[in-house]
Amino acid sequence: MRYELEGTLIVLKDTHVLSDRFKKREFVVKTDEESSYPQLIPLQFTQDRCSNLDSYNSGDKVKVEFYVKGREWTSPQGEVKHFLSLDAWSISKSGSGMSESPVSPPSEGNIPPPPSPVNFDSDSSSDDPEDDLPF
């Protein structure tokens, strides 16, 4: 499932090459800035998307689309550990609508817009035959 958040980019790390087949670039976005308890959310781009952060600076207001990924790992001693990562798919300047990722995945779980507001100030003595309510 894809999620998104908006906030201020506060940490940008360099790309870290873990093997010839895997690299990642971590960054932190601060959300809920007006709250007494702002949240510092660590995310990462992987592989070719690491360069998506090249044109951003600390202090930029951003919108990030990401996936929550979890995995299990068993140590050589047999101990099982679980890991969680927030893998960013795209990043854009807040309010710009411009994504740095050339391709967006299909959206999942689209929520329909709310219904139009009802005008309760209109005359209650309607001549509409469809209006069969007694009040």
Reference 66, options 81, 44, 48; nearest CA is: 44
pLDDT in tens, 70-115: 999 999 999 999 999 999 999 999 864 444 443 344 444 444 455 5
pLDDT in tens, 47-75: 999 999 999 999 999 999 999 999 999 99
Q: What pTM value is reported for the model?
A: 0.65
Residue 127 has pLDDT above 90, yes or no: no
Q: What is the CA radius of gyration of the chain?
A: 23
> Where do the domains of the chain lie, and which CATH numbers do they carry?
2-93 (2.40.50.140)
DSSP 8-49: EEEEEPPPEEEETTEEEEEEEEEE-TTSSS-EEEEEEEEGGG
pLDDT in tens, 22-47: 999 999 999 988 889 999 999 999 99
Cα 58 to Cα 10: distance, rounded to the nearest angstrom:
5
Pairing of strands 22-31, 61-74: unpaired
